[in-house]
Structure 1
Amino acid sequence: MKKLLFSAVFLLTYSSVFAQHSLEKLWESDSVTIKSPESVLFDAGSNSLYVSSMGSGSVVQLDLNGKVIKSDWVTGLRSNMGSGLSDGLFYTAEGSGVAVIDAAKSTIIKRIPVEGAGMLNDLTIDAKGIIYVSDTRNGKVYRVEGGKSSLYLENMPGANGLLSIGTDLFVVGSSSVHKVNANKEVTKIAEGFENGLDGIVMAAKNEFILSNFRGILYYLNADGTKQLLLDTREKRIMANDISYNPKTKTLYVPSFGTHRIIAYKVK
């Protein structure tokens, strides 16, 4: 009896730790409105998606069914990539600085230069409103506070996707994921991914979804265990800087090469 009980507990623990996940495709947007979408941002406040249409230097606003609300929500941007919202302001990474947009008026109000930046890519905003932006070309992460930028981390090869959770900053490199605490102590979470990691979202406590711009999606646990969710490389469907709606468990995936946003239910 004890042996049976132990086996049952072991199997239950094993199945929960190594629980498998899957994706169900819900919709995809048209391929006309958006030009080379590098990132998508889900906003619970407006119940909509903001897409960095990098190819046109604009932000396109979609509803949660992939229909266009406003094709020119913001224009006049320069190679806009990762984005974030905080206190009524929309921030997006341009090549060598961060554009600040008044979300209510959909207008650019200023640009914050990042001296020495090679190619700013993703950004995340912590609970205090501090912005962190990655420089993929130089393997660095910058911190933006009070309208000024400063170097925060270096020696982070391929630094791309960023995610702020509490006092921790998760940094996605070209083939690995690291966690950086408030003292800037770096812990490697996982490595050995196909080169080309791009975005990161939190799917549940200590659980994440990663994208690889070549067209791969991974499910990652904080203990480093991982699962391949989807591989669309043969179809040439890319997976760039993703976003997630935790309430509906919907993952939004930009495909830079096919000019579409694809939505998946995470199961």
Structure 2
Amino acid sequence: MKYALLTLVLGCSFSLHAQIKLEKLWETDTVIAIPESVYPDLKNKILYVSLIDGPGWAVDGKGGVGKMSPDGKQFDSTWITGLNAPKGIGIRRGKMLVADVTEIVVIDIASGSITKKISPPGALNLNDVTVSESGIAYISDSKAGNVWKLEGDEPELYLTQQPGVNGVKAVGSDLYIAAGKNFQKVDAQKKITPIATLPQGGDGVEPVGNGDFIVTAWVGYIFYVHANGKVETLLETHQQKKNTADIGYDPATQTLWVPTFNGKTVAAYRVVR
């Protein structure tokens, strides 16, 4: 009986202290022109990568969107060109939405062509994009501290007074946002519930199950945020001058794709729990 009890205690202790970690799978060896966001199209086995190719917020026509194979071995940097400083990517109804400084660029995926550009009134620095299961898009404006809602083609101001808002992720009827160091949940009635305080300002946001999230900080940190608000640091790359920007995630394989921005690569990791 004592042996069984001791085994149970030790097992619980191990479970409580089991380490969550990132196991590196690969990193591209070709120069990628300032990758900011990776959006995995898992059905078609394509990684879409937003390419700034210049200063972070420049309106210079040098940006675009590239297509990469999930293993990083094949990359087409010229799929979409002529953008400025594209960042977050979302997809709905066969169309891609890309946040590009003050515009939301709409791309027909089948033809690889830009069909329209939507300009939210007073937009300053549009950053991340997420699309809900019902097809509603949300776009953050980091400089203005706003989140825009896009059901059709008419932008609607959804949230205000969110300083530094960057990463946004729609999960069910809720919207999770990283505004500076504040990681929080916004429900359908716009009630805001704090979840965690991040050590650094948040960027990419991805749910990984059980109410947990992986959240990046652009400066070069990847955090694991537990549903109870506990935050663990999984990776630090800032000393290597590699950023950790807007990530993509495959829950089936637990693969995390990380654009390194100034590092000019895309890296892939497996989340080990």
Shorter-chain TM-score: which interval? Answer: over 0.9
2:203 to 169, 173, 198: 198
Matched, 1:152 2:158: yes
Q: How many residues align?
A: 264
Structure 1 residue 5: Cα displacement: 4.8
* Cα distance in 2, alignment partners of residues 207 and 16 from structure 1: 16
Matched, 1:108 2:107: no
For 2:192, the equivalent position in structure 1 comes to: 186
Q: Is the 8 A contact 1:20 1:227 kept in 2?
A: no
Structure 1 residue 203: Cα displacement: 1.5
For 1:36, the equivalent position in structure 2 comes to: 34
Determine helix, strand or coil for the equivalent of 2:8: helix
Deviation string, structure 1 residues 128-148 (Cα, Å, up to 9, x no partner)? 111100010111101012100
* Cα distance in 2, alignment partners of residues 231 and 127 from structure 1: 32
Deviation string, structure 1 residues 142-170 (Cα, Å, up to 9, x no partner)? 10121000110011121000110000000
What is the TM-score of this pair, normalised by structure 1? 0.93
Q: Which amino acid aligns with 1:23?
A: L
Residue segments in structure 2 that go unaligned for 5+ positions in a row: 54-61
Structure 1 residue 126: Cα displacement: 0.5
For 1:170, the equivalent position in structure 2 comes to: 176
Percent identity between matched residues is 39
Structure 1 residues 102-111 or 21-30, which shifts more? 21-30
* Cα distance in 1, alignment partners of residues 254 and 271 from structure 2: 6
Determine helix, strand or coil for the equivalent of 1:76: strand
Q: Which amino acid aligns with 1:221?
A: H
Q: Which amino acid aligns with 1:27?
A: W
Q: Is the 8 A contact 1:251 1:263 kept in 2?
A: yes
1:91 to 92, 97, 106: 97
Structure 1 residue 240: Cα displacement: 0.4
For 1:240, the equivalent position in structure 2 comes to: 245
Quote the RMSD (CA, aligned, Å). Answer: 1.9
Q: Is the 8 A contact 1:38 1:82 kept in 2?
A: yes
Structure 1 residue 9: Cα displacement: 6.6
Deviation string, structure 1 residues 13-63 (Cα, Å, up to 9, x no partner)? x6556642111111111342x211111111112111000011141111000
What is the TM-score of this pair, normalised by structure 2? 0.91
For 2:8, the equivalent position in structure 1 comes to: 8
Residue segments in structure 1 that go unaligned for 5+ positions in a row: none
For 1:210, the equivalent position in structure 2 comes to: 215
For 2:67, the equivalent position in structure 1 comes to: 61
Q: Is the 8 A contact 2:130 2:138 kept in 1?
A: yes
Q: Is the 8 A contact 2:202 2:216 kept in 1?
A: yes
Q: Is the 8 A contact 2:39 2:47 kept in 1?
A: yes
